[in-house]
Chains A and B, each alone.
Chain A
Amino acid sequence: MPPEPYSAISARQEHFSGAYVRAVCAATGCGCAKPEPDDDKIDFTLSSRVSGTIKTKPKIDIQVKCEMSGAATGNAETISYPLDLETYDNLRDPLVVNPRYLVVVLVSNNIDEWIVQTEHSLIYRHCAYWCSLKGLPASENATSQTVYLRRVNIFTPAVLRQMMERASNGEDMP
């Protein structure tokens, strides 16, 4: 069988959600790097030069997930995401040095709708939400744990700046 000419859906999701995070970093002015060695399933380490009481080069670790569910609609205050247990446990570890956040990027079921391009703009669809799982209790489930992200917690440059300021003082965003 000849190889598929284009990559699998899961690879596209990974690329797209990564591009979303990089775009927010670019607009904020934060560094964004893939961690090496890749030892504990973190996708990106974001860095800045915000000088605080604890650090002068704070870093934030981000785990990015992409879900093909379409944009969040209706009146619900949260969106839910089933997280595999290994990732869940990594993100709730209270001993880590850098604050860790989960970022979930919601995209359309139709890949043709992921970006909208004109001469004026490139629009990424739809939206990235963030949450911190630090200190949550161990899951009692066997394979995955559903986590809830508040719809007001959109991953924006303003939020990223707050995250960096808190990190420079040794704190997490709640």
Chain B
Amino acid sequence: MKALIQDAAAIAAIRPLNIIGYLRSHGWAKFSEVVGKFSVWENTHFPDAEVVVPLRREASDFVQRLGDVLKELSAAEGRSQLEILKDLVNSGFDVIRLGVRAPNTDSGTVKIDEGVKLFGEAREILLAAACSAVRPRAVFHSRKPQQALDYMGSARLGQTEHGSFVLTVLSPVAPQFNAFSDTDLFPEEPFERQVVKTLALGVQTTVMAAEQSALATEDNFRPFQEAVNLGVSANLCEGIAGLFMFGDQSTISISIAWAQNRPMPEGVPSRAIITSDIVPTISEAARIFRARDALEDYVITGPIVKLERPEGQEQGRVTIYAPIEGVPRKVNVTLLPAEYAQATRAHEQYRSVKLVGTIVREGRSYKVANATSFGLASDDEE
């Protein structure tokens, strides 16, 4: 049975520009237009059909005409109005479907706590992809690139779907003005599309790296290390591993339905399947990414809690108690003689110090390499 859509609110959600994007990408061409009111579209594959796209939402027949668009497309393309409605509403979005298949989601529902976590991890995965799209890195810290944060402000959650439990993320894509233009050799892709491509590629590469690492005889972290440029990061790995909370026999699929208003990207997988057996490897990869990570040009401000100068040496080593990525940590730094003297005075006077350097992990603690600009912290920084 092919359902007819009678719900005026559902129909009104369609945007005329999305219809035009859909028509363009499905071989329809503009036949005529009455400027400011409507345009008429035809398709040589469907000589009997004519789609009239209304332009003005304030026209009293707007919803009626959108309903006509559904009817006409449904009749021409032989698909249900429901399918076409979904395509039209989503035609301006790349749709990312994250599906969980597990024994306890078979009813198409999830437990509340698991569901909340699922949505949270989906956000982390998307944000990791957005950060990698700005600049690939092994680890993204709490200060994310502004472009990635702006992107997160524009992405949306769609309705969930059955199968067994599928959440949808809608990533808006600006339409390409000249569809199928051959003249553009290197058409610039909008950032939103780059994010979704990075996501698709990053997830698939993570799965492949996990498989390769199981087979590697030595340095089994290398497949992950080499995949950073393809969008793999500690954050992405953590997000993927975080999705697995539904027991042993669960499978997660991530698939992309590309927006209809731009050509489909080439060489990017549209579907990846993650099974629970590779999750421990992915978690471990995330841990190693973080362990090997360095925070460059990081500003460290805090009180000195330990002063240490071996007998007969000029350089001293101090421990500063400072927030690193929001968590208070003990950070070790080696200082030149003059700086060490300054540090000693600061310690006597209960003053905080400040320096800039690269923070790296050293076993269970942290140390600063290439420390510069050592000095007393001003009062308002303490």
Contact = CB atoms under 8 A, between A and B. Distances in A.
Interface of A: 35-37, 39-40, 42, 53-57, 59, 61, 89-90, 93, 95-98, 100, 170
Nearest to B10: A37
Contacts of A57: 50
Contacts of A56: 31, 40, 42, 50
A97 B60 contact: no
A89 B5 CA distance: 26
A96 B61 contact: yes
A54 B11 CA distance: 25
Contacts, number: 64
Contact of A37 (B6, B32, B34, B40): B6
Contacts of B50: 55-57
Contacts of B34: 54, 170
Given A55-B50, A95-B37, A36 B4 contact: yes
Contacts of B6: 36-37
B63 interface: yes
A96 B11 contact: no
Given A36-B6, A56-B42, A95 B63 contact: no
A127 B37 CA distance: 34
Contact of A93 (B5, B32, B60, B67): B60
The 10 closest A-B pairs by CB, nearest first: A95-B59, A96-B61, A57-B50, A54-B32, A93-B60, A39-B63, A97-B38, A37-B6, A95-B56, A40-B60
B75 to A, nearest CB: 11
A97 B54 contact: yes
Contact of A36 (B40, B54, B56, B67): B67
B150 interface: no
Nearest to B61: A96
B184 interface: no
B40 A96 contact: no
